[in-house]
Structure 1
């Protein structure tokens, strides 16, 4: 259940919805269905930080304490770059014992940050890569402090609107959002069940956005086409550091091709966005069933058709 889109050289080769956006009402998924995209959000957060750098309001080498003087002493060497590349050493807040109860409440980002500050670092900043949602929530908070806007508003004004992404936004538990899919999960006692509740304040800049397959194509074309960021900023965003991770994106070799990509998972939803720069191929796979067939497998198979053999799926 979900939506799939494949494009090459700016041309859509394949775009289709599968299964139900809402099982109770038997509403079908389409390429215009809105899905929560989980950690695919992180590339938007990284781009937002780079836009602030272009504005002269921060530098990637800035220490966090330069923008938050109350940062704990243990964070004195942590930079914005460390947060972007998962090399800060700040422990992952979604692994905290209290997170299960925290995620069901409207939780201000300041409270999430406060929950991180008194925990010891997992390692010396910059010494290793360890994927952590904490760094991206902290980045979202810094974006708000520096820009004077809420994270979702900044992303809307500086990214979504310039790129014509009218079907994307910061998700809400109360707002009426047209064509938004319901999320489901697989359980032992039944094939599909409604996904557990998560208040969208808790994933914040690490995973709170929603989008459509068509809007994510606009994003990929705008980002990699150079219409959103300067050439220098785009190079920073796509240059891997430790563990093959760049800024909100992974850079790797797949079947002899360079791929820039990221996946996402949040209660009831999985997502995957891949870009093959040499061939200018974009593969987007979105699902409103968590824990189903691996999204990466579907993405690879579609990419093999569009890239590996030069055929349309």
Structure 2
């Protein structure tokens, strides 16, 4: 096999249009390689230290935050969310933490609430306002509907149980122990400083739990590899699948898509918002972790790069199917 750097460079050259701001990082077989591409609107070249909006890649951080509380005996996956967020008991009903994690709570699918947004900022408060106004269409456990709103609810659960703001809990429980200084949770426009803020469309994504993560590619691949090596002791929780009431498996863990290819387990997720696209794939058995982040109108092309890299490195067809630009996720 050619050197890792040559494989990455070749995949980028064949899939990303010149100039699109993007950043890729790969850990494979003990080797690490990162690549940046393109220019920001100011004309400045993208640098490895530039943060990107990670969109729905944030869900695995939220899942890990919940897992930290479960690991420490402070929360149970079977607990009803309404027993924690008592002010929202009326609409939460019998939805459990597990339902929210696996997208089986009967909440609106990704894109439904967002399509109703007439504001210029998509915030936690707006999500809860919409949820309080909309009747739940199906009972929990009947269907798997990928829902951004459920992860906003989970972030609030983490705050209520921990007594800390979600960003602070994530920093203390996950980012600081792993040395991830180039990753943060933000619900404030312009923080962290990034030219991508000006590319994120007419509605700024400021909600947490379903999104809110800003990161460099090299920080996020470090996060992925820390999960591969189970540094926080969360792997058995976050990779747990569930079944619907009819017994059919969901194929989604705690913020992660669960896939098997040629007998090899892989965990995947994508994410997107107008002006942002991201994708990850990791496989502990292959010692493989890769992430692609991109900005601008053609950002979605980064998804094909990650697929191509996985196919080349794993020697199998790349997985598809969780998150993406079809919905603002």
Aligned pair 1:33/2:50, yes or no? Answer: yes
Q: For residues 297 and 262 of structure 2, what CA distance do their matches in structure 1 show?
A: 27
Match in the other structure for 1:167: 182
| Root-mean-square deviation over aligned CA pairs | 2.3
Match in the other structure for 1:119: 134
Q: For residues 272 and 8 of structure 1, what CA distance do their matches in structure 2 show?
A: 16
Equivalent residues of 2:159, 2:165 under 8 A apart:
yes
Q: For residues 299 and 219 of structure 1, what CA distance do their matches in structure 2 show?
A: 17
Q: Structure 1 residues 114, 138: closer, same or farther in 2, change over 3 A?
A: same
- The partner residue of 1:139 within 130, 141, 154 is 154
Match of 2:259, SS state, is strand
Q: CA deviation at 1:181?
A: 4.0
Equivalent residues of 1:87, 1:126 under 8 A apart:
yes
- The partner residue of 2:164 within 127, 149, 165 is 149
Match of 2:182, SS state, is coil
Match of 1:3, SS state, is strand
Match of 2:88, SS state, is coil
- The alignment of Structure 1 onto Structure 2 pairs a total of residues equal to 290
Q: CA deviation at 1:27?
A: 1.1
Q: CA deviation at 1:75?
A: 3.0
Stretch of structure 1 that moved more, 79-88 or 211-220: 211-220
- The partner residue of 2:293 within 283, 286, 289 is 286
Q: Structure 1 residues 3, 291: closer, same or farther in 2, change over 3 A?
A: same
Q: Structure 1 residues 95, 88: closer, same or farther in 2, change over 3 A?
A: same
1:55-104 Cα deviation digits (max 9, x unpaired): 222100001122122334453221000000000001247423774323x2
Equivalent residues of 1:110, 1:141 under 8 A apart:
no
Equivalent residues of 2:110, 2:146 under 8 A apart:
no
Q: Structure 1 residues 17, 138: closer, same or farther in 2, change over 3 A?
A: same
Equivalent residues of 1:74, 1:121 under 8 A apart:
yes
Q: Structure 1 residues 141, 93: closer, same or farther in 2, change over 3 A?
A: farther
Match in the other structure for 1:188: none
More strand by share: 1
Q: Structure 1 residues 99, 165: closer, same or farther in 2, change over 3 A?
A: farther
TM-score normalized by structure 1?
Answer: 0.84
Equivalent residues of 2:23, 2:217 under 8 A apart:
yes
Match in the other structure for 1:308: 315
Aligned pair 1:3/2:23, yes or no? Answer: yes
Q: Which runs of 5+ in 1 are unaligned?
A: 185-193
TM-score normalized by structure 2?
Answer: 0.80
Equivalent residues of 1:133, 1:206 under 8 A apart:
yes
